[in-house]
Amino acid sequence: MKQRFISSVQIILQLALTTVGLTGQSYPGKPQIIRCRSLEKETFSCWWKPGSDGGLPNNYTLFYSKDSRSRAVIVPLYSALVRPHQNPVCSSGSLTARKTLRCWSMSREGQLNWGRVWSMIQPDAPVNLSLETNKSANLSYLWAKWSPPPLSDASSNSHVYHYELRLKPEEKEEWETVSVGMQTHYEVSSLQAGVKYVVQVRCMLDLGEWSEWSSEKSIQIPRERLPPEKPIIIKCRSPEKETFTCWWKPALDGGLSTSHTLLYSKEGEEKVYECPDYKTAGPNSCYFDKKHTSFWTIYNITVRATNEMGSNVSDPHYVDVTYIVQPDPPVNITLELKKSIKRKPYLVLTWSPPPLADVRSGWLTLEYELRLKPEEGEEWETIFVGQQTQCKMFSLNPGKRYIVQIHCKPDHHGLWSEWSPEMYIEIPTDFRVKDMVVWIIVGVLSSLICLIMSWIMIMKGYRMMAFILPPVPGPKIKGIDTHLLETGKSEELLSALGCHGFPPTSDCEELLIEYLEVEDSEDQQLMPSHGTPSKNTKIILKETDSDSGRGSCDSPSLLPVKSRESRSLPSTLQTQDVRAKEKKGGKGSRETQCKASEQKTLPWHSESIKSCTWLAAQLPSNQAAMFAYHSTVEAFKITLNATNVNTSPVLVGNEENRQSLYPIAETVYDDVEKISEMEYSKTDPTTVQVRQNEHNDKSPFLNPKLMDYVEVHKVRQDEEPTLLLKHKENSGKTKKCTLPGISKEYTKVSTVVDHQILVLLPDQRTQNTPVSQEPVAETSQNPQQSQAEKNTSYSTTAPSDSRGDTSGSDYMDPSSFMPSFK
Amino acid sequence: GLLLVALLVSHMLLTKEGVTSLPICPNGPVNCQLSLEELFDRAVKLSHYIHFLSSEMFNEFDERYAQGRGFIAKAVNSCHTASLTTPEDKEQAQQIHHEDLLNLILGVLRSWNDPLIHLASEVQRIKEAPETILWKAVEIEEQNKRLLEGMEKIVGRVHSGEVENEIYTPWDGLPSLQLADEDSRLFAFYNLLHCLRRDSHKIDNYLKLLKCRLIHDNNC
């Protein structure tokens, strides 16, 4: 009974499930009432969700009571065997209005306060939706019709529904919802033409909820018929300054076929013309051939679009063809790599103007611009080249691939053409790069070698240093081969010197003289160092060490000899001696070296002896030139041996005084004697003579020099006439020697001469010093100037002995020999 | 002398033209005659320069004063030289006899003598006229005279017969340049500059055409 269905009545349902538990099975779970719904306010249905069934089929029973307060009435409304997972439908019978339903189960209660009844009411969706379009007064309408939802109960047709309709264009998301009311049709206006719409409807009873939306229906709204919009003239362009073309964008035509017409009028003419040629330049364009193209004339161009509904005209376009020239891109582009004189490649670009452009007549003048970039580069380098049709590019990076493009433009106005198609050119790698690589490799290798070398140097250190950087030799006579000296053949030496005849020629003498001069200057420097009192032989040794490298051993005499010579002989001789020492002086102890050299190098000794003999013998007798020559040549190379030999006699002298000081020297001396004996057979007669001298006195060469010294010494102190005579002889000889030598010191000698005798010069120094010092010191100082170690030894060793006796006796002999040499 | 100076100036400004050198008369001024080619070279450079200036000036003016005023539509058919029938396309230009074309050039140049003088003076009265426009007006006026001189030389050299009577069209646009109404006055300037640009380009184009025809035998 519809009337009795009171919306305000609260119906309480309790769904009680009787679950028949079978043996061993669990109880069923608690069922849940999902919803109850009334379609038409007369009946309603409830749906529930079964609980867990415990693995068994369950019986569900819906109980309801109509009165929430009185629970007395329990009406089994529906009972059915419900299979698991089935949603049972419990459709009640007709409800009596005044009663409130209440249901509960026997065992467990699931109680649901369902609320007011009307909330349960929800009709089904409307059906039979149909759409139509209608047109009235040039406007489109949408006509929608539908039917109310069908009911199983035919008697319930009288229900009144409210309807809603929603629609949208097919492609859109948002719906537009329209409330329709009670009627089952609707007319929609203000639709867009040509759009397809989608429509749905739904319904609702006077109370309750909206039904679902009905199924979609769609309909296409037909287009409208309108006159076209304005066409738009895009541009006009003349490719060669002779013809031109205009393009336009066609108007929107609303689906109707529209025709376009181009109309133009020229400056100075009233008449309006139509486009002469729509076809040549393609659709939506107009081509003006030469006849229709004027320059320095403004064209007023319009385009009219027309369809059956009407026409529309574009905005006017004013064109002076002079200013709209846009040529085609240049053609015949060639890229050529050439190499300049410096072998650096450069790029020669040539091109031709576009074929349409008549550049030759001068009607059109084109200017060009090219651009290029490395293939992977980002930015173009643009170069304006003016009217020329070629270009040389110099500063290109070798090894890169370049892209080149060219475009052109009329000289004053107009637009740049499109860029020509890309041209590629690969710049070959520069040869210089290869060279650079080579140089880098070389540099790395050399640095590696240097590193290794330095490493070796560090490892071997001292020796390597000595090996790589031998002691710097003193000034040598040009062209002398040290190996020749070592072999000791005087002739070869001489030839090496350029003196082919053994007897020295004038040339050789000159050479020697020059050499000597050089030595002099150095001697002066050396003299003071020597002049400083040297008390021990050790000092001498040091000196020799320091002097090492100087080449000439003129005098075979050793340190003492030098010292004496320094006084007695001209400074040149002294220096030579010093050099001899120097060469002699190795890094080790000099004496030991002497030994070794003596024993091992016999020829050397012989020569050295020769030289020494030469010196000794000839100094007094021979002319200065000769002396100088010998001293330089022979003594020079023989230095080591000579020094050895010289030392030995000196040492001998020492032995006489004290043997303890130079034991080694003694042995050396002995060896020297032997050697000298051995060699004498080979040597020249002069040497033989010398040898004799040597045998007679242990220090034959020394003797003359020593004699000089002694003489000086004596001259100073004793001033005996005999000595003076000898001294004169020596001095005279020395003069001769020195004169060519031109030593400044020697000039001082001349002053000494004033006292009594020429030789006094070296004495002066000695005199001066001894005067101030003690007599003992004087004696020591006499040798002092020329490394007087051995002299000192003399003085110290034989203070008791009368010098005149011991030393004088020794020296006297050589002096006596001297004349014999002559 | 002045022409020479002008040419020098133009040469400096138009380095892209790349003149190799300006030959100095070896035999003194008496026997000194520039060849026709040299005359044309200079004339072309000068006309190129003048058109360059006038074009720049027009653009500056257009940007500054004519935006949105629709001057271009009004400027149609209002150049005072329009009465001189000049070739309007390549064919016409090639068909016309070179002497006639030269005379036409002379006519156009002469026709501009007057307006250029007034333009140079009146343009200074434009409100806030930029210096570049003022300078160009003066410069064009001077250069136009020099070009006229040069063209008379060329015409004198080329013409076989009598020199035609001087043709030129008078210009009566001075009052329009002095109009009180600013819009009208600006349009008058606009139109004058527009015509100047057109005619200077015409002259430049004709001269380049003539140069190629007379000097290079249509093989530029």
Nearest C-alpha neighbor of A92 from the set A120, A111, A124: A120
A335 & A430 share domain: yes
Is residue A118 a part of any domain in this protein? no
- Kindly report, residue by residue over A626-681, the tens digit of the pLDDT: 444 444 444 444 444 444 444 444 444 444 444 444 444 444 444 444 444 444 44
A135 & A179 share domain: yes
Whole-number pLDDT of residue B5: 59
Most confident of A89-98, A106-115, A487-496, B151-160: B151-160
Using the predicted structure, report yes or no on whether residue B19 has a pLDDT greater than 70.
Answer: no
Whole-number pLDDT of residue B49: 94
* Residue B122 in contact with partner chain A when CB distance is under 8 A: no
* Residue B91 in contact with partner chain A when CB distance is under 8 A: yes
Q: Given the structure tokens 């003129």, which residue do they identify?
A: A554
**Partner-chain contact A296 B211, CB within 8 Å:** no
- Kindly report, residue by residue over A57-90, the tens digit of the pLDDT: 566 666 655 544 444 334 444 433 333 344 444 4
- If contacts are CB pairs under 8 Å, which of residues 191-220 in chain B contact chain A? 198-199, 201-202, 204-205, 208-213, 216, 218-220
Give the phi and the psi of residue A301 in degrees, each rounded to 5.
-115, 135
Using the predicted structure, report yes or no on whether residue A130 has a pLDDT greater than 60.
Answer: yes
Whole-number pLDDT of residue A102: 34
Question: Among A300, A318, A363, whose Cβ lies nearest the Cβ of B93?
Answer: A363
Whole-number pLDDT of residue B67: 84
Residues in chain B: 220
**Mean pLDDT across the stretch A595-615?**
41
**Partner-chain contact B88 A367, CB within 8 Å:** no
A56 & A140 share domain: no
A353 & A422 share domain: yes
More confident: B139 or A817: B139
- Kindly report, residue by residue over A549-569, the tens digit of the pLDDT: 444 344 444 444 444 444 444
Domain count, chain A: 4
In B, which residues are within 8 Å of A386 by CB distance?
A: 16-18
Using the predicted structure, report yes or no on whether residue A764 has a pLDDT greater than 50.
Answer: no
Strand order in the sheet with A10-16: A75-82, A58-64, A10-16, A109-116
More confident: B104 or A31: B104
* Residue B20 in contact with partner chain A when CB distance is under 8 A: no
Contact A553, A580 (CB under 8 A): yes
Is residue A405 a part of any domain in this protein? yes
Using the predicted structure, report yes or no on whether residue A547 has a pLDDT greater than 90.
Answer: no
Closest approach of B14 to chain A, Cα-based (Å) = 11
A311 & A358 share domain: no
**Partner-chain contact A294 B89, CB within 8 Å:** yes
A100 & A132 share domain: no
- Kindly report, residue by residue over A97-118, the tens digit of the pLDDT: 333 333 333 223 333 344 444 5
Give the gyration radius of chain B's Cα atoms.
Answer: 18
To the nearest 10 degrees (0 to 180), the angle between helices A636-657 and A803-821 is 140
- Report the half-sphere exposure of A626 (CA within 13 A, side-chain side): 14
Average model confidence (pLDDT) for chain A?
Answer: 62
Using the predicted structure, report yes or no on whether residue A380 has a pLDDT greater than 80.
Answer: yes
Tell me the C-alpha distance between A221 and A643, whole Å: 134
Whole-number pLDDT of residue A155: 56
Q: Which residue of B has its CA nearest to A357?
A: B90
A375 & A412 share domain: yes
Most confident of A249-253, A674-678, A753-757, A773-777: A249-253
Using the predicted structure, report yes or no on whether residue A263 has a pLDDT greater than 90.
Answer: yes
Question: Three-state secondary structure along A628-697?
Answer: HHHHHHHHHHHHHHHHHHHHHHHHHHHHHHCCCCCHHHHHHHHHHHHHHHHHHCCCCHHHHHHHHHHHHC
Whole-number pLDDT of residue A563: 41
Is residue A641 a part of any domain in this protein? no
To the nearest 10 degrees (0 to 180), the angle between helices B182-210 and B98-122 is 150
**Mean pLDDT across the stretch A754-773?**
45
pTM more than 0.90: no
**Residue B99: helix, strand or coil by DSSP?**
helix
Tell me the C-alpha distance between A565 and A543, whole Å: 17
Which of A434, A451, A482 lies at the terminal end of a domain, its last residue?
A434
A206 & A271 share domain: no
Question: Three-state secondary structure along A93-147?
Answer: CCCCCCCCECCCCCCCEEEEEEEEHHHHECCCCCEEEEEEEEEECCEEEEEEEEE
- Which secondary-structure segment (H or E) carries A49? strand A45-49
Is residue A367 a part of any domain in this protein? yes
Question: Among A300, A316, A362, whose Cβ lies nearest the Cβ of B220?
Answer: A362
Whole-number pLDDT of residue A521: 42
**What is the per-residue burial (b if ≥16 Cβ within 10 Å, else e) of A144-174?**
bebebbeeeeeeeeebebebbbbbbbeeeee
Q: What CATH code is assigned to B35-80+103-216?
A: 1.20.1250.10
Using the predicted structure, report yes or no on whether residue A746 has a pLDDT greater than 90.
Answer: no
**Residue A225: helix, strand or coil by DSSP?**
coil
More confident: A707 or A131: A131
- Kindly report, residue by residue over A158-194, the tens digit of the pLDDT: 678 889 999 998 888 899 998 988 888 998 887 777 7
Question: How many percent of chain B have pLDDT more than 90?
Answer: 25
Mutate to test the interface with B, among A296, A325, A387 (most CBs of B within 10 A): A296
In A, which residues are within 8 Å of B51 by CB distance?
A: 412
* Domain range enclosing A39: 28-105
B51 confidence band (pLDDT: 50, 70, 90) = very high
**Partner-chain contact B94 A318, CB within 8 Å:** no
A316 & A240 share domain: yes
Contact B16, B103 (CB under 8 A): no
Q: Which residue of A has its CA nearest to B202?
A: A296
Give the gyration radius of chain A's Cα atoms.
Answer: 69
**Partner-chain contact A361 B86, CB within 8 Å:** no
In B, which residues are within 8 Å of A294 by CB distance?
A: 88-89
**Residue A245: helix, strand or coil by DSSP?**
strand
Query: Residue ranges per domain, chain B?
Result: 35-80+103-216
**Partner-chain contact A413 B202, CB within 8 Å:** no
Q: Which residues pair with A36 in a beta bridge?
A: A46
Whole-number pLDDT of residue B174: 87
- Which secondary-structure segment (H or E) carries A169? strand A162-169
Chain A / chain B CB contacts < 8 angstroms: 81
Question: Among B72, B77, B90, whose Cβ lies nearest the Cβ of A363?
Answer: B90
AA letter at A151: L
Token pair of A539 as six digits:
């000092």
Question: Among A242, A367, A412, whose Cβ lies nearest the Cβ of B89?
Answer: A242
Contact A62, A46 (CB under 8 A): yes
**Partner-chain contact A361 B211, CB within 8 Å:** no
Q: Is B105 exposed, middle or buried (0-12, 13-18, 19+ CB in 10 A)?
A: buried
Whole-number pLDDT of residue A32: 67
Tell me the C-alpha distance between A811 and A709, whole Å: 9
**Residue A523: helix, strand or coil by DSSP?**
helix
A240 & A281 share domain: yes
**Partner-chain contact B94 A300, CB within 8 Å:** no
What is the interface pTM, i.e. ipTM, of the complex? 0.83
More confident: B147 or A694: B147
**Partner-chain contact A367 B16, CB within 8 Å:** yes
**Partner-chain contact B90 A358, CB within 8 Å:** yes
Residues 6+ apart with CB under 8 A from A4: A95, A96, A97, A98
A356 & A427 share domain: yes
DSSP A361: T
Nearest C-alpha neighbor of A707 from the set A586, A599, A818, A587: A818
Tell me the C-alpha distance between B209 and B220, whole Å: 9
To the nearest 10 degrees (0 to 180), the angle between helices A559-568 and A506-531 is 100
Question: Among A242, A295, A318, whose Cβ lies nearest the Cβ of B73?
Answer: A318
* Residue B83 in contact with partner chain A when CB distance is under 8 A: no
Whole-number pLDDT of residue A246: 93
Question: Among B72, B89, B212, whose Cβ lies nearest the Cβ of A295?
Answer: B89
Tell me the C-alpha distance between A98 and A294, whole Å: 102
A135 confidence band (pLDDT: 50, 70, 90) = confident
In A, which residues are within 8 Å of B219 by CB distance?
A: 360
Q: Given the structure tokens 């089935």, which residue do they identify?
A: A86
**What is the per-residue burial (b if ≥16 Cβ within 10 Å, else e) of A203-235?**
bbbeebeebebbeebebebeebebbbebbebee
Tell me the C-alpha distance between B154 and B168, whole Å: 18
Average model confidence (pLDDT) for chain B?
Answer: 82
**What is the per-residue burial (b if ≥16 Cβ within 10 Å, else e) of A47-58?**
ebebbebbebeb
Is residue A408 a part of any domain in this protein? yes
Question: How many percent of chain A have pLDDT more than 90?
Answer: 11
A405 CA to centre of own chain: 33
- Kindly report, residue by residue over A710-727, the tens digit of the pLDDT: 444 444 444 444 444 444
Whole-number pLDDT of residue A436: 75
A397 & A360 share domain: yes
CATH number at residue A210: 2.60.40.10
**Partner-chain contact A360 B220, CB within 8 Å:** yes
In B, which residues are within 8 Å of A293 by CB distance?
A: 89
Question: Among A241, A298, A359, whose Cβ lies nearest the Cβ of B220?
Answer: A359
Q: Which residue of B has its CA nearest to A268?
A: B77
Most confident of A174-188, A198-212, A776-790, B17-31: A174-188
Token pair of A276 as six digits:
């002469």
Which of A170, A193, A221 lies at the terminal end of a domain, its last residue?
A221
Using the predicted structure, report yes or no on whether residue B162 has a pLDDT greater than 80.
Answer: no
Q: Which residues pair with A753 in a beta bridge?
A: none
